[in-house]
């Protein structure tokens, strides 16, 4: 039987040796892992922990395999790969025109789907004569073995376009395998996020770094060090993509927040002399992006001030008006938010986002019937819009209509996987995509 102090000690060792953080809810899993790993070596829990505190690197790697999660798939969060294809790679090709080389890095690459997706997009957008290098890093040796083998189940291709599947995948006995031409363009290396590597993270090396869904598992100290070395390793003007649950704040050192294609990402700031002739975004775009980032941090008062600073013509655009209405609703000013919705609907009575936001305002004012009317209209106008389905499901659940709640929440959970990031940000009540999906499942499974 593992003692509480043994599990606490294991958590501390995982923090120090791997930079991983676990809350108390993971204690049963950690206790089971401690029991299994100690038994594998014929040791007591205490003896295992004593030895783990030494330079027992092979066992540390095995432990990393046991406690890290590797669920991923090709083209996950496809909006970020759309940015890569349409904004980032064209910009970096222009910047590297004389060298004709690009360097891309996937930190926390898991079983390799992300790194291979980078290679697929680069193959589509960069001339074959260029030298394009993609490196994937992960601490989990088992995951890296899968990545190097390049064999996957059909389920990993659930978001992969048909044309991409036909070009880069071949049938295998147990699923599919990556075409050898593509596999030869990607290398995978074992890497522990606790450690710096002056060669791997040499200054100004990478044009693009993906570090998605890793920082949330790391201790604050490890996050700060990892972001600092990634920033150092980015080339001037290079780009960093994080997971949707990760944020570096509104002013991360040496990085500028960008927002296009319904997603946030970062660009390494170039020196003023290099930046003299660079075309700057329009002021209104800067203002909207700033407001969106402040909303992401739940700094709604500052977001409203940023919107107030946008010039009159830009502030009257439908997307900026919708953002203003959402911010006002977050601040509890449902009357003012509803007035913004009516302005939008006066121009376009078929605006699904305005109907949904007006429904949220009606909810805030206690008008359930009015809220349902607008949520139904929003769902009717845009069949792929998850958020009104979620609100209708929750309202039905509270009203005791179990059948409607299960139907709407089930539909919402499915649609949320593909919901636009900006809609999740504006209408998610501070919850990310994963948390909203979990909410749908929890409400559906709750006792009658």
Q: What is the CATH number of the domain that holds 252?
A: 3.40.50.150
Of 67, 91, 113, which marks where a domain is finished?
67
Residues ≥6 apart with Cβ < 8 Å to 277: none
Of 67, 86, 105, which marks where a domain is finished?
67
144 domain residue, yes or no: yes
- The SS3 call for residue 252 is coil
88 domain residue, yes or no: yes
pLDDT tens per residue across span 337-382:
999 999 999 988 889 999 999 999 998 888 999 999 999 999 988 9
**170, 95: one domain:** yes
**408, 432: one domain:** yes
111 domain residue, yes or no: yes
364 domain residue, yes or no: no
pLDDT band at residue 287, thresholds of 50, 70 and 90? confident
How many independent structural domains does the chain possess?
A: 3
Structure pTM?
Answer: 0.58
pLDDT tens per residue across span 87-129:
999 999 999 999 999 999 999 999 999 999 999 999 999 999 9
Domain that holds residue 17: 4-67
Query: Each residue of 194-204: b (16+ CB within 10 Å) or e?
Result: beeeeebbeee
> Between 102 and 193, whose confidence is greater?
102
**57, 88: one domain:** no
Of 275, 302, 329, which marks where a domain is finished?
275
**35, 150: one domain:** no
**157, 86: one domain:** yes
φ, ψ at 194 (rounded to 5°): -70, -30
**196, 63: one domain:** no
Residue 254, Cβ density class (10 Å: 0-12 exposed, 13-18 middle, ≥19 buried): middle
**12, 100: one domain:** no
């Amino acid at each position: 039987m593992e003692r509480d102090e043994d599990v606490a000690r294991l958590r501390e060792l995982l923090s120090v040796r791997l930079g991983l953080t676990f809350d108390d809810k993971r204690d049963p899993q950690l206790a089971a892992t401690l029991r299994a790993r100690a038994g594998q070596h014929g040791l007591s829990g205490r003896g295992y922990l004593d030895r783990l505190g030494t330079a027992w690197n092979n066992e540390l790697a095995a432990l990393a395999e046991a406690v890290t999660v590797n669920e991923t798939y090709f083209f996950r969060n496809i909006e970020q790969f759309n940015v890569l294809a349409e904004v980032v790679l064209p910009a970096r090709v222009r910047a590297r025109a004389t060298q004709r080389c690009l360097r891309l890095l996937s930190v926390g690459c898991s079983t390799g789907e992300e790194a291979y997706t980078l290679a697929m997009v680069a193959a589509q957008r960069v001339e074959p004569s260029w030298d394009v290098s993609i490196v994937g890093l992960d601490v989990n040796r088992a995951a890296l073995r899968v990545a190097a083998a390049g064999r996957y189940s059909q389920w990993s291709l659930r978001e992969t376009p048909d044309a991409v599947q036909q070009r880069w995948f071949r049938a295998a006995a147990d699923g599919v395998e990556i075409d050898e031409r593509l596999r030869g363009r990607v290398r995978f290396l074992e890497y522990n996020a606790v450690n710096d590597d002056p060669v791997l993270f040499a200054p100004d090396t990478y044009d693009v770094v993906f570090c998605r869904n890793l920082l949330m598992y790391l201790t604050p100290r490890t996050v700060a060090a990892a972001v600092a070395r990634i920033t150092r390793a980015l080339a001037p003007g290079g780009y960093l993509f994080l997971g949707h649950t990760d944020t570096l704040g509104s002013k991360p050192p040496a990085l500028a927040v960008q927002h296009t294609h319904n997603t946030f990402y970062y660009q390494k700031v170039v020196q003023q002399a290099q930046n003299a002739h660079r075309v700057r975004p329009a002021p209104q775009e800067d203002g909207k992006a700033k407001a969106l980032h402040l909303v992401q941090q739940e700094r709604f008062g500052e977001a409203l001030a940023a919107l107030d600073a946008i010039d009159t013509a830009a502030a009257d655009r439908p997307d900026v008006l919708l953002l203003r209405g959402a911010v006002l609703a977050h601040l509890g000013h449902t009357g003012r938010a509803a007035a913004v919705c009516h302005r939008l609907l006066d121009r376009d009575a078929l605006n699904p986002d305005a109907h949904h936001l007006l429904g949220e305002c009606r909810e805030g004012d206690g008008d359930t019937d009015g809220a349902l009317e607008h949520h139904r209209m929003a769902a009717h106008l845009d069949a792929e819009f998850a958020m009104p389905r979620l609100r209708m499901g929750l309202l039905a659940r509270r009203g005791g209509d179990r059948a409607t709640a299960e139907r709407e929440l089930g539909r919402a959970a499915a649609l949320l996987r593909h919901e636009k990031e900006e809609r999740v940000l504006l209408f998610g009540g501070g919850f990310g995509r994963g948390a909203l999906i979990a909410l749908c499942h929890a409400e559906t499974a709750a006792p009658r």
